[in-house]
Structure 1
Amino acid sequence: MFDTIRNNSKILMGLLALLIIPSFVLFGIDGYNQRDAKGAVVAKVDGQEISQQEWDAAHQREVDRMRASMPNLDAKLLGSDEARYATLERMVNDRLIAVAAQKQLLVTSDQRLANYLQRDPSIAGLRGADGKLDMDRYRQMAASQGMTPQMLEEQVRRDLSNQQVLSVLQASAVASQRQSDGALQAYLQRREIQMQRFEPANFVAKVQPGEADLEKYYQAQSDRFRSLESVDIEYLVLDAASLEKSITLSEQDIKTYYEQNLQRLAGKEQRRASHILINAAKDAPAAEREKAKLKAEALLASLLKDPKAFADLARKNSDDTGSASKGGDLDFFAKGAMVKAFEDVAFELKQGEISSVVESEFGFHIIQLTDVKAAVAPTLESMRPQLVADLRQQQAKRQFAEFAETFSNSVYEQADTFKPVAEKLKLTVQQAQGLTRSQATQQGLLSSPKILDAVFAEDAISKRRNTAALEVSSNTLVSARVIQHRPAALRPFAEVKDEVRTQYVKDQALSMAKAEGQARWVDWKNQPAQAQLGASLVVSRDQPQGQPQAVMDAVLRADPARMPVLLGVELGQQGYAVVRVNKLVTREEPNPQQHAQSRQQFARLLGSAEAAAYLSHLKSQFKAEILVSKPKAVAAS
């Protein structure tokens, strides 16, 4: 066969050119490669498409973030259809806001970006004792999110620009006292109720199914008793974290790394200063700036007569609210932390010396140098743990880069086994049984949509060959191979009989509870004196007393003019409730502090409501649409 191909290669090349080149002309090479890779289009915003692949990746990032912050959170919640749909809705909203920011020319200046990054706690933690940013750790932080520092900064810039779309609207929401008081009075209204609940648990003993009942139920509800499609797999993981554990370092490696980085580790000299700032925007009228300068010069003249009055004058006159309350104190800082005009003067002053008036983009400063902290080089022993960790991480990443090509080629070229590449790279072949298509039933790497999509692909199941090397996270490659496939199927009645009985009893008890509750509601409406209700209880939105939301909604919708009124309330899987709403109860007058807090809360709620309304307007303006169906549980909410 191969001889035939070689002997007729020119003819074959001609045929391939006729077939392939037109498709490149129509779609472009990138489009040809990427069209299928990204999967189906799941949403559109202003003509921009969101693909299934982008949705999967975004949800995986959300899952990883949630698991990191709440390790004990039920994985089933994170992998549910409702959670995935919520991720897609957030993606659409984010795209909407980004489009609006672009159309409205909302940009973030370099100075605003620098100020934000200066205050960001996650970045502040990467600064050494000298205040200098540890660039290696900064690059590592960006890499952990799959980005370079430049990409991270551009993302922050975009986020700050996007925030402007809604933040001004939210901050500008103002409610009058009459408006907020009226709304809060209605929202926090209290009502006295009495209630009788009809719960399924009280009817379980009355359900006595026979064999025929269970078989009939099994046939009618067969979808409940189907096994999920599943696969058993073996898989191979190449990741920098595992490689790091196997790396050993010589004493000379550590010493050399220490000496190479001594200047960085020692940091820079730090200075502590206080200042008085008289605000004057760079683009303010000349007369306004001159007035600010004259005020600063008058304060300087006063300080030169009495330098000890610096802190007092700063508290009374400085426009820098962050430092004014501390007598102008800015604490220690290194070069690169302040604007250049300020920094140049601060690093020329002697301890205790007061500068002349210094002009910067913020206005006019008077600076007093209060302390100097010289750079101190740490010892090798004090830095050993950090040096060892950094070196291991660096070498592991280099080793990963060297191994990645071998790994990717080997799992493809020897597609029916992992043994050769595992032996060559000293990796362990792992196994997992009973994987399903749902992320919620898997843990760790195997919850990745990339892996699940690959192992449940038709070729992977039918041919039992290694998947391609999948990059499931930064510096992590995985290849998997299906070794057994079990299609979804109706489980035999004998196998699920106990489960059928449990479900049957549960459903029948729920039906009986609801029927009894509805019957009592009708009877008690006709004969109010016969109503057997519990003790009276006062409820409100902020104090629901543990009542189900369905009860609270019904109680608060009841017309005060018709009280007392008897209500029948469906409680879903919790059964049924008959509730009598007796009367309104006067709300206790809040103290001034509670009143102020309530008004602030109402203003925030009003701002959120206006932002939501504006977002709805943007959806219409920019033709945002989600092209996948909403899960039933979400649709019902």
Structure 2
Amino acid sequence: MFDAVRNNKKIVQVFLVLIALPFAFFGLESYVSDGAGGADVATVGGVGISQQEFQQVMREQQERLRNQLGQVDPKMLDNPEFRKAILDDVIDRRLLALEAAQRRLFVTDDAVRNSIAGIEAFQQDGQFSNERYEALLRAQGLSPAGFEAQVRQDLTLQQLAGTIGQTGMLSTTVGERILALQTEQRQIQELILPAGSYLAKVKLADDAARKFYDENSQQFQTPDQARAEFVVLSQEGMAVEVSDAEVQSWYDGHKARYQQPEERRASHILIASEALGKDKARAKAEEVLKEVQKKPAAFAELARQHSDDPGSAGQGGDLGFFGRGMMVKPFEDATFGMKEGEVSGIVESDFGFHIIKLAAIRAAKEKPLAEVRGEIVAELKAAAAGRKFAEAAEAFSNIVYEQADSLQPAAEQFKLKIQQSDWLGRQPNPANGPLANAKLLEALFSDDAVKNKRNTEAVEVAPNTLVAARIVEYKAAALQPFEEMKPVIERMLTEREAMKLAKADGEARLAALQSGDDKQVWGASRRVSRMDARQLPPQAVQPVFRMRTDALPSYAGVELPGAGYALYRLNKVEAGEKLDDVRRQGLIGQLRTLAAQDDIQMYLDALRKRYKVEINEKALSTSER
């Protein structure tokens, strides 16, 4: 089934856009267990989504958007609409995880390894680097086992996405009609009424600029700024050493962890019982088994011909290597009871009837210490640094609070460098490094920190990273003088009034045109289509293609904000040029993708009803921000 996902990447990508929050780094337990921390924000199938889980996703998505967009108003990233959108994504993921578990979907170890090896961040010189892999995971506070479990979960849901995406249907008639509309040519003429043409007609009141200045004084404030000094306490900066004896002791005490369990590679032919019914499916499976027994060497060809598993049939039924616990139990019991090269009888599971061929056995083995030494050292160092950081964090927080007039005591005790910032504003800016944190900036610009130049509290700006800061120089917000702003305000008000005059004139002319009085001087005739509307202002695209075609000429008008008003005359509608096969198939593919999106949304809506989703609006609005 994983092969079906690989062969339908575009559909899967569309699906993943709908559930855009990444799986990685959420924590696998968040999909299958109930969290602590107060009233749940929502329940899905009777299992709660805790405030702690929801806040974690909120923080991660906020940080991701700040990194992508740069300076962003914090209010944009914590409002009812944003919080509801995040919760909907979390709910959709929980629904898909429940459905995947219900369908007993699985992903092989080979698929997980191949997926991780293909991630560019883990590669060096185009090849997977285990050292780089482990280093990056440590930086995120993850272990390889935990990350691999999360990747397996992600791939499992992609299997489900691929299955749903393949159901998207687009009838030929509908597709051809949409293409005809997209390529349709409209012959139009345009008349622009520029706002600049009306500037001379604008007469502002003598006090208009002063009145606007007084009523909108906040627009003319220069924001307050500050330069700060700060110290950073991080787990990454904790120096720890690990002895050979500690490594050996850990290895001896956790040998079970370094056992590579037995894996088996099998191929199968699945006769699904859902469509045929159980009796007919079994009868067909028996017929296919007879063919296999007559021609064992033709197993792969018979799988391509008869198997109902869309993922493996094209590969001759090959499922790759897998360990225990990855297949449904009847299938697993049969496979692990066979000899290499043996073909099973009929094996029944919830999916239908299987005929299994065991291709290879990869025996269990123990990884030697030399092979896993780097992993153990990294894990022991991370654990030791974590303990050291946890002990230091509380003392660090106390010092910066209790000795609030200076960061020097904290810097001396923990051997930290006091760093200096450039001028900062209240809004986070990624260029400011550790100080690009909304909570830290809020503390830095608080009344106590500004007036008394006291240390901020120790703020966690990233996992296992605390920062305390204090203002060393402050510039208060200031209102720019009216006399400096007066020319700017008058120009802005004049342009605004000119725009109103252009719109009024345009609407009056449009009314005359629609009543049959066409005395306008139109521009040159030109052709536009929905596929190529670049000759039109963006605001005019919809009005032009909504103009009546039953009685020509027809007319439309549209306001062009800041530019003026545009009038359009539609003279003729013609069929578009015939598309070449490559372009035509590309457009049909896009339409099918859109159809798949609709199917996916309907599927998610159906899952919400099946598993019963309840949202705690009060908890959603009051959970910790």
Tell me if TM exceeds 0.5: yes
What's the secondary structure of 1:241's corresponding residue? coil
Please identify, of 405-414 and 217-226, the stretch whose mean Cα deviation from structure 2 is larger: 217-226
Unaligned residue ranges in structure 2 (runs of 5+): 1-36, 123-129
What do you get for the CA RMSD once the two structures are aligned?
6.1
Partner of 1:409: 398
Equivalent AA in structure 2 for residue 191 of structure 1 = R
**Among residues 448, 458, 475, which one is paired with 2:437 in the alignment?**
448
Aligned-partner Cα distance in 1 for 2:606–2:330: 42
Q: Report if the CA contact (8 A) 1:56-1:449 is conserved.
A: no
1:467 aligned to 2:453?
Answer: no
Q: Say which is worse superposed, 77-86 or 189-198, in terms of deviation.
A: 77-86
Query: Corresponding residue for 1:15?
Result: none
- Residue among 353, 357, 379 paired with 1:367: 357
Provide the residue aligned with 2:521 in structure 1: 531
Query: 2:533 and 2:357 mapped to 1: Cα distance?
Result: 57
CA 1:113 to 1:451, structure 2 compared with 1: closer, same or farther past 3 Å?
farther
Return the offset for 1:112: 3.2
Residues in 1 aligned to 2:595 and 2:80: alpha-carbon distance in whole angstroms:
30
Query: Does residue 439 of structure 1 match 2:428?
Result: yes
1:234 aligns with 2:229: yes
Counterpart in the other structure of 1:275: 267
Counterparts of residues 80-159 of structure 1 (less than 5 Å): 81=76, 87-91=82-86, 93-94=88-89, 109=101, 112=104, 114-115=106-107, 124-125=116-117, 144=140
Quick one: distance in 1 between partners of 2:361 and 2:49?
55
Identify which range, 403-412 or 520-529, moves more after superposition: 520-529
Contact 2:449–2:470 (8 Å) recurs in 1: yes
TM-score scaled to structure 1, two decimals? Answer: 0.65
The residue type paired with residue 544 of structure 1 is A
- 1:183-582 equivalences in 2 (<5 Å): 190-197=185-192, 218-219=213-214, 221-243=216-238, 252=244, 268=260, 273-279=265-271, 287=279, 290-291=282-283, 294-295=286-287, 297-303=289-295, 307-333=296-322, 353-357=341-345, 359=347, 361=349, 362=351, 363-370=353-360, 392-432=381-421, 434-439=423-428, 443-462=432-451, 464-483=453-472, 487-493=476-482, 497=484, 501=487, 504-505=490-491, 508-509=494-495, 511-512=497-498, 515-516=501-502, 519=505, 522=508, 528-540=518-530, 542-545=531-534, 547-582=536-571
Distance between the aligned counterparts of 1:503 and 1:489, measured in 2? 18
Aligned to 1:23: none
Counterpart of 1:236, as a letter, is V
Change over 3 Å in CA distance of 1:181–1:405 after alignment to 2: same
Cα distance in 1, alignment partners of residues 460 and 134 from structure 2: 23
How many positions carry a matched residue from both structures? 560
Paired residue type of 2:309: D
Preserved CA contact (<8 Å) 1:232 1:435: yes
Gaps of 5+ in 1: 1-33, 129-133, 630-637
Shift of residue 90, structure 1, vs aligned partner:
0.3
- Residues 300, 357 of structure 1: 8 Å contact kept: no
Give the distance between the partners of 1:627 and 1:191, measured in 2 at CA: 53
Contact 2:168 2:592 in 1 (8 A): no
| Distance across 1 between alignment mates of 2:172 and 2:594 | 10
Structure 2 CA distance for partners of 1:171 and 1:488, relative to 1, 3 Å: farther
The answer to whether the 8 A contact 1:550-1:571 is kept is: yes
C-alpha deviations, 1:88-124, integer Å up to 9, x for none? 240353477699x69xx97653773654999668975
TM-score where L is the length of structure 2: 0.66
Structure 2 vs 1, CA of residues 176 and 83 (structure 1 numbering), >3 Å: closer, same or farther?
Answer: farther
What code does the residue aligned with 1:508 have? T
SS of 1:404's partner is helix
1:17 aligns to what?
none
Q: What's the secondary structure of 2:359's corresponding residue?
A: strand
Paired residue secondary structure (2:457)? coil
CA deviation after TM superposition for structure 1 residue 554, in Å: 1.9
Report the alpha carbon displacement of residue 551 of structure 1 after superposing the two structures with TM: 0.7
Q: 1:124 to 1:324 in 2, by over 3 A?
A: same
| Matched AA of 1:600 | R
Deviations 1:493-541 (A, max 9, x none): 47xx3x764565455346446645754775685774541424413132x
Identity of aligned residues (%): 25
Shift of 1:552: 1.0
Match of 2:573 among 580, 584, 601: 584
Contact between 2:292 and 2:302, CA under 8 Å: does it hold in 1? Answer: no
Q: Secondary structure at the match of 2:312?
A: helix
Counterpart of 2:317, as a letter, is G
Inter-CA distance 580–156: structure 2 relative to 1 (3 Å threshold): farther
CA distance in 1, matches of 2:227, 2:403: 20
